[in-house]
Amino acid sequence: MPLIGFAFTSTALDFLGDVQPKIRRQIIKKAKALHLTPYPPGCKKLQGVVTDTDEPIYRVRSGDYRILYVVRANPAEVLILDIDNRKDVYKMPKKNSDPEDELRMSEAEFDNVMRDALGVLSVREEKNG
């Protein structure tokens, strides 16, 4: 069953805004998979690193890039903390892991953002287009 919420910190969104479209699509695909499977094969819990509320931080690989995230139970959500090249990502700030309220979105909104980022038409757009 998918988690209820999915959010990005401003740091993660800034990275996605600056990266090449091909890499952005690769990372977004991996991030969307976390929404359905927050602990995929190959994810690792970072040792000795937690948020300011003592939540463990996980990382998943996406090519040469790493996605750092937490899985929260109440409310149920995946929060993407940071995304960066593997050589730079672990220099992330360890505090202020709360998402901006306007970054919270429903699953349908998330699907629309992913569809736009990947340049995929919805079924309705394909029929009209």
Domain ranges of the chain: 5-89+100-120
The CA–CA distances, whole Å, from 20 to 17, 41, 44, 70 equal 8, 26, 26, 25
pLDDT tens-digit readout, 49-91? 778 778 888 999 998 899 989 998 877 888 888 888 887 766 6
6-41 pLDDT, tens digit per residue, is 788 888 888 888 889 899 889 988 888 888 888 999
What is the CATH number that goes with domain 5-89+100-120?
A: 3.30.2310.20
DSSP for residue 88: T
Q: Is the pTM of this model over 0.75?
A: no
Residue 86 pLDDT: 80
